[in-house]
Amino acid sequence: MPVKNLFDCIEAGDPLEEFLEGFPGVSREQAVRAIEEARTLLMANA
């Protein structure tokens, strides 16, 4: 999954749907899982 692109999209304030349209090989579940994993890692390092 192009994780950097996912986070760039989120950082820009674009909706998740826009990212998913640009990367049809990525499911919503995969994208949400990546976001949740990043959140968990950030919270553990805070």
- Whether the CA torsion 42, 17, 2, 26 is positive or negative: it is positive
pLDDT string in tens for the chain (46-residue length): 689 999 999 999 999 999 999 999 999 999 999 999 999 999 998 7
Alpha-carbon 38 to chain mean position: 9
Q: Where are the domains of the chain?
A: 3-44
pLDDT of residue 41: 93
pLDDT of residue 28: 97
Radius of gyration of the chain (CA): 11
